[in-house]
Chains A and B, each alone.
Chain A
């Protein structure tokens, strides 16, 4: 029975790969018919911005002694227009619009750009043991309206009309008792914020730019992400104020952000806490050697029988290079100031990322590891982004589409683990392959897991991406979980 299951899954993988190849060929040809210059990206990217050698063995970082004619507009790759653009074209050439002058003295030149991403995939998961398989076809659309007013001021509105949190519009093939369509269409406003710079909005207050009025702010429903998504990764109703460009002796840059959040806060369990109020300060410092992050947050909330409660959180991060090795070290902690609940628990998470590129190539080799003590919980987490360990690697990351689980999960509870991977590029970066091996060891006597996984991405034209993912997870006790998915993405 188990052997036939693997044959079934292997057959699915072959069918999906063949389907993907057929689709990629057809779509690429269609895209080229629509845009004969679709291969221009490839031609220009082959001229070696990566430092690689071309087929003739020339080093592209060497300075050529031969004249190189300046490329004209018609020689450059065509830009990928958004779905709609009114006013100045997005990244397009042309004359600057005159705009209009506010009573404050600011000059605004409005431009509306509508853009987004559509994703669809077929997810297949064999959970092992006697659990039923999952075969589903979920959909996701992220649609944004960006009203750009100036270089620093804009209004952004965003919708996710095909999913409501972690519930996606999906056709389920298996399990049989859940087969059929689930419709999660909605017009909820997922993103709505205005951001700007006080000094740019009121230039008459400081025409010589000497009073230090360049204070940035953003207000509304906005995505907040700090400590690389470990401490904070959610869309909340909030107001933030930033002071950038500060300095101290020996430290050329300090950025400090103050944030108050009052609504739509998903706590550490990814559930909305309607009583939560957030107070936070986030700082980033450039020292000569490193970029240091220092973050602190306090959530005030009413403790109920099952959730809520006050929480205190802090995070430290240091990013630097040692020779050709990129390193990031993070230490995050959470404290339940009331009794522990599903919203906040006591815990600490230590996280280390190492990466480098083999000499002469821009491939990526990485080794990431973590140590979770007790039950670290984030300040706030969107239901679709998974847990705080997503940055460890593919095996720990949520895909953000459907119910396809990560190979090793992204919870940081009482465990340590690591992932080692290699990211290889071909065909002028139009194709990439990532192979990763990883594992998680529980420190509370729970089930240990090890997994191997891979991801293939193929760019089709300028807007389309085909992605294949697969993993095999071996669990302590003999069970095996297998996941395979094929995703098609359209950027517009």
Chain B
């Protein structure tokens, strides 16, 4: 890390590497036609009985992650908004693009 960050076009051909020097953008998205399976665990202390339990799974879309708003808040926002207001609006205006409900019976 240099004490003098200075942005200029790279002196090497960027296109051969697919990314700038010294930067790694780790792509963890789902490839076209691909899928991922997520695992969730709920500790026994948080259960309220023997069930059955209704599980609602939602796939949400949100314009930006909230921590990005925190990172850029120093440059300010339009319309006199505070960073907190912008973050709340981003979360509130996210869309649920897929939802599924299921009932789970616990094995004794």
Contacts and interface: CB of A to CB of B under 8 A. Distances in A.
A355 B41 CA distance: 31
B71 A61 contact: yes
B18 A242 contact: yes
A255 interface: yes
B13 A252 contact: no
Given A67-B81, A465-B3, A242 B9 contact: no
A249 B32 CA distance: 9
B81 A217 contact: no
Contacts, number: 153
Interface size, A (range): 35 or more
Contact of B11 (A80, A191, A249, A288): A191
Of the candidates A61, A67, A255, A489, the one having the most CB atoms from chain B within 10 angstroms of its own CB is: A67
A240 B16 CA distance: 7
A242 B83 contact: no
Contacts of B14: 195
Contact of A225 (B3, B12, B26, B31): B12
A304 interface: no
B4 A242 contact: no
B45 to A, nearest CB: 25
Contacts of B74: 44, 47-49, 60, 68
B11 A489 contact: no
Nearest to A91: B7
B49 interface: no
A422 interface: no
Contacts of A47: 74
A476 to B, nearest CB: 33
A222 interface: yes
Contacts of A430: 3
Nearest to A285: B27
A341 interface: no
Interface string B16-59: 11100100101111111010000000000000000000000000
B27 A252 contact: yes
A115 B2 CA distance: 18
Interface of A: 44, 47-49, 60-71, 76, 80, 82, 90-91, 113, 115, 142, 144, 146, 148, 152, 154, 156, 158, 191, 193, 195-197, 216-218, 222-225, 240, 242, 244, 247-253, 255, 257, 259, 284, 286, 288, 291, 319, 364, 423, 425, 429-432, 457-459, 463-465, 489, 491
Interface of B: 1-4, 6-9, 11-18, 21, 24, 26-32, 34, 66-67, 69-71, 73-78, 80-84, 87
Pick the 5 closest A-B CB pairs, nearest first. Answer: A218-B13, A47-B74, A247-B31, A223-B12, A216-B15
14 contacts: A44-B75, A63-B73, A68-B74, A70-B75, A82-B8, A144-B8, A146-B9, A216-B16, A240-B13, A242-B18, A247-B32, A248-B31, A291-B26, A464-B4
Given A63-B66, A319-B24, 8 more contacts: A66-B82, A67-B80, A90-B9, A217-B15, A250-B34, A364-B1, A459-B3, A463-B6
